């Protein structure tokens, strides 16, 4: 072979090699262009990318018959209608004891409990739960038909009927009496709110400290009775600044919160919106209060909703209000809060 022919052979070889590489590149490009693009997750679908919204979560929620459950009614309705991202199982029970066992065993994700019970559970579970919000402030009212009683100060020298001997209603009442320096106040205890109502029915001039919605129900049956004052207002007069008379709080299992932080955030948002909706239109939710077994009468429920101090307080405001309240209870009986005040980890989302 001549030198010229050899040169032609090498040029041809290089041409075909370059052509082959170009052909392969075009084929790869074509395949890539024809492949379906990876779409963003539809609403409610899980994402595999770190930092994106988490998948919908099954959430179990327990609350007690009373104001704490009333504040959840709008969220319950939306969940039943499939209008929430997460799937909720709501259970309304009669006593705190029915909830605490489930919390200790880890069988409920979120629970609405009395404020002091949250502290007890925190100590009992060695910090396995946190409080995410205050859902109810004071529901204790001074009720009487005695026209001479126009303020809390007027109970000096009187007998006052109430429930909750050895529990928070007694501690709160004694604290307020002590701070107001009222003398000769005799406390007489009944086993339940219905007994207080019966006492007032028999003698409208009797004086009782009653929780909502029972106070409204009693007044609906007896026109002589009146609500003199919400004990929460008296509390603000005498308690440390920032403290509140707290009835109910919402707690979460810390393991659940770590695994599903978005679900906790969505619950807080839903709970806040629910409280606002219920307070804005009590008439729209009054029958639902009856259907859930909270109050027997829709007209009474409509009147009571606005008196139940429904709220949703979180963050630093929650910590300040609740910490001051638990401190007062601790001074009367440390056992009422589980032996000691919770540390900072008790307050969810507070650094």
Tokens linked to 123 = 């100590």
pLDDT tens sequence across 236-273: 999 999 999 999 999 999 999 999 999 999 999 999 99
**Average pLDDT for 195-199:** 96
Q: Are 115 and 159 in a shared domain?
A: no
Q: Are 271 and 338 in a shared domain?
A: yes
Q: Which of 160, 157, 107, 153 is nearest to 129 (CA)?
A: 107
Q: Are 185 and 159 in a shared domain?
A: yes
Q: What Å distances lie between residue 303 and 150, 159, 198, 229, CA to CA? A: 21, 28, 20, 16
pLDDT tens sequence across 290-307: 999 999 999 999 999 999
Q: Are 86 and 222 in a shared domain?
A: no
DSSP structure string for 119-187: HHHHHHTTS-EEEEEEEE---EEEEE--TT--SGGGGTTSEEEES-TTSHHHHHHHHHHHHTT--SPEE
Euclidean distance between CA atoms 343 and 96, whole angstroms: 23
Answer yes or no: is 45 within a domain. no
pLDDT tens sequence across 66-102: 999 999 999 999 999 999 999 999 999 999 999 999 9
Q: Are 186 and 267 in a shared domain?
A: no
Q: Are 276 and 304 in a shared domain?
A: yes
Answer yes or no: is 198 within a domain. yes
Answer yes or no: is 21 within a domain. no
DSSP structure string for 242-303: T-----EEEEEEHHHHHH-HHHHHHHHHHHHHHHHHHHH-HHHHHHHHHHTTS-S-HHHHHH
Answer yes or no: is 40 within a domain. no
- Point out the domain boundary residue: 238, 261, 286: 238
Euclidean distance between CA atoms 71 and 309, whole angstroms: 10
Answer yes or no: is 47 within a domain. no
For residue 57, pLDDT over 50 is answered with yes
* Averaged pLDDT of the chain: 87
Tell me the helix, strand and coil percentages in the chain, rounded to 5.
50, 15, 35
pLDDT tens sequence across 5-24: 443 444 344 433 443 433 43
Answer yes or no: is 108 within a domain. yes
- pLDDT for residue 265: 97
For residue 229, pLDDT over 50 is answered with yes
304: enclosing H helix or E strand: helix 298-305
- pLDDT for residue 54: 63
- pLDDT for residue 55: 81
**Average pLDDT for 100-127:** 97
For residue 165, pLDDT over 50 is answered with yes
Q: Which distant-in-sequence residues (6+ apart) come within 8 Å of 73 by Cβ?
A: 274, 278, 285, 288, 289, 292
pTM above 0.75, yes or no: yes
Q: Are 303 and 254 in a shared domain?
A: yes
Please report which confidence band the pLDDT of residue 26 belongs to, taking 50, 70 and 90 as the band edges.
very low
For residue 174, pLDDT over 90 is answered with yes
What are the backbone angles phi and psi of residue 63, rounded to the nearest 5°? Answer: -150, 170
Q: Are 122 and 163 in a shared domain?
A: no
For residue 39, pLDDT over 60 is answered with no
Q: In terms of DSSP bridges, do strands 226-230 and 140-144 run parallel, antiparallel, or are they unpaired?
A: antiparallel
- Point out the domain boundary residue: 215, 238, 261: 238
Answer yes or no: is 287 within a domain. yes
For residue 148, pLDDT over 80 is answered with yes
Please report which confidence band the pLDDT of residue 201 belongs to, taking 50, 70 and 90 as the band edges.
very high
Euclidean distance between CA atoms 193 and 164, whole angstroms: 9
Would you give the distance in Å from CA 46 to the centre of its chain?
Answer: 26
- Point out the domain boundary residue: 196, 214, 238: 238
Q: Are 145 and 291 in a shared domain?
A: no
Burial class of residue 145 in the structure, from the number of CB atoms within 10 Å of its CB (0-12 exposed, 13-18 middle, 19+ buried): middle
Q: Are 130 and 144 in a shared domain?
A: no
Task: List the Cα angle 187/191/197 in 5-degree steps.
Answer: 80
Q: Are 333 and 199 in a shared domain?
A: no
Say which range, 31-40, 121-130, 192-201, 326-335, has the weakest mean pLDDT: 31-40
Please report which confidence band the pLDDT of residue 351 belongs to, taking 50, 70 and 90 as the band edges.
confident
Tokens linked to 303 = 């009147």
- pLDDT for residue 207: 98
For residue 1, pLDDT over 90 is answered with no
Tokens linked to 115 = 């404020």
| Helix, coil or strand: residue 99 | helix
What's the structural domain count of the chain?
2
- pLDDT for residue 53: 56
For 207, the domain range is 140-238
Ramachandran region, residue 106 (left: φ > 0; alpha: ψ -120 to 50; beta: rest):
left
Q: Which distant-in-sequence residues (6+ apart) come within 8 Å of 91 by Cβ?
A: 60, 61, 62, 63, 108
For residue 52, pLDDT over 70 is answered with no
Higher pLDDT, 180 or 48: 180
Euclidean distance between CA atoms 312 and 242, whole angstroms: 16
Q: Are 271 and 125 in a shared domain?
A: yes
Please report which confidence band the pLDDT of residue 41 belongs to, taking 50, 70 and 90 as the band edges.
very low
CATH of residue 92's domain is 3.40.190.10
Answer yes or no: is 42 within a domain. no
310: enclosing H helix or E strand: strand 310-313
Q: Are residues 312 and 248 in contact, defined by beta-carbon separation less than 8 angstroms?
A: no
- pLDDT for residue 50: 33
């Amino acid at each position: 072979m001549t030198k010229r022919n050899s040169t032609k052979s090498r040029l041809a070889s290089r041409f075909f090699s370059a052509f082959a590489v170009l052909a392969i590149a075009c084929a790869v490009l074509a395949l890539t262009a024809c492949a379906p693009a990876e779409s963003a997750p539809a609403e409610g679908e899980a994402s595999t990318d770190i930092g994106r919204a988490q998948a919908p979560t099954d959430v179990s929620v327990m609350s007690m018959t009373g104001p704490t459950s009333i504040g959840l009614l709008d969220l319950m309705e939306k969940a039943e209608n499939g209008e929430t991202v997460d799937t909720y199982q709501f259970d309304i029970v009669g006593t705190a004891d029915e909830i605490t066992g489930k919390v200790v065993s880890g069988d409920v994700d979120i629970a609405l409990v009395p404020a002091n019970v949250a502290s007890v559970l925190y100590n009992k579970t060695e910090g396995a739960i946190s409080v995410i919000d205050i859902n109810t402030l004071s529901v204790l009212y001074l009720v009487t038909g005695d026209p001479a009683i126009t303020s809390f100060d007027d109970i000096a020298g009187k007998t006052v009927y109430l429930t909750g001997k050895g529990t928070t209603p007694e501690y709160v009442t004694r604290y307020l009496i002590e701070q107001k320096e009222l003398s000769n106040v005799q406390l007489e205890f009944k086993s339940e709110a219905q007994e207080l109502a019966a006492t007032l029915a028999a003698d409208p001039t009797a004086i009782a400290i009653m929780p909502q919605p029972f106070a409204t129900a009693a007044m609906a049956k007896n026109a002589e009775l009146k609500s003199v004052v919400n004990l929460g207002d008296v509390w603000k007069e005498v308690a440390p600044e920032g403290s509140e008379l707290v009835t109910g709080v919402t707690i979460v299992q810390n393991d659940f919160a770590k695994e599903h932080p978005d679900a906790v955030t969505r619950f807080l948002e839903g709970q806040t919106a629910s409280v606002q909706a219920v307070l804005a239109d009590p008439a729209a939710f009054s029958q639902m209060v009856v259907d859930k077994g909270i109050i027997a009468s829709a007209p009474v429920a409509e009147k009571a909703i606005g008196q139940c101090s429904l709220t949703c307080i979180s963050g630093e405001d929650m910590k300040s209000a609740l910490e001051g309240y638990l401190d007062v209870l601790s001074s009367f009986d440390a056992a009422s809060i589980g032996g000691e005040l919770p540390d900072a980890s008790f307050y969810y989302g507070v650094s």
